[in-house]
Amino acid sequence: MSLPPFQSLVDAHWRDVARLAYAPVGPVAADDVAQQAWTQALAAYPRLTHARNLRSWLLTVTHRCAMDHHRAARRSHPHEDPASLVTAPTQPPPDVPDGDLWTRVAALPPRQRDAVVLRFVGDLDHAAVAAALHTTPGMSRRLVSDALATLRLNLPDREDL
């Protein structure tokens, strides 16, 4: 079983992992989530049974860490309004334009939001998105297309979406 040295994965994919960590949990926790994803990936790496598509493996680990982060946040603040957990971590970053779309993405139903983030921020194909969400590629397509339809509906002036 021949795997590339872990450093080459870090060098090639740390930006993608950071971007994917940022999208679902926001700027404050993104660093922790990315850090945790790398730590977990490093620990599990020698046990991988094949070296195909290591990038999507890393992004799946990252997504799982982000979901764990949400779950932990929910556990530690059981009395908070659950709706705030969906919106709070996805505040638009202050220094980037088009924060409106960000808010709209945050307002999507959780499964649709996760699917659309994995598909476009992570640039995963539907098979990989489906694997990360424990569902089928068909359902992944459906989630993404529903999400895009909603976003399109709310952005009538954007033709390139």
Give residues in contact with other proteins (CB under 8 A): 2-8, 10-11, 14-15, 17-19, 22-23, 27, 34-35, 38-39, 42, 45-46, 92-93, 95-99, 101-102, 105, 117, 120-121, 123, 151, 160-161
Is the CB of 11 or the CB of 81 nearer to other proteins? 11
Helices (H), 45-132: 54-76, 82-87, 99-106, 110-116, 126-132
Closest CB 96 distance from other proteins, rounded Å: 6
Is the CB of 102 or the CB of 137 nearer to other proteins? 102
CB contact at 8 A, 45 and 3: yes
What does the buried/exposed string (b/e) look like for 10-26 if buried means 16 or more CB atoms within 10 Å of the residue's CB?
eeebeebbbbbbbbbbb
How far is Cα 55 from Cα 149, in angstroms, rounded to an integer?
Answer: 28
Closest CB 149 distance from other proteins, rounded Å: 13
Closest CB 51 distance from other proteins, rounded Å: 9
HSE (side-chain half, CA atoms, 13 Å) at 145:
7
Closest CB 106 distance from other proteins, rounded Å: 10
Is the CB of 32 or the CB of 80 nearer to other proteins? 32
Is the CB of 66 or the CB of 151 nearer to other proteins? 151
* Tokens found for residue 154: 């709310």
* Lookup result for tokens 């068909």: 138
Closest CB 131 distance from other proteins, rounded Å: 21
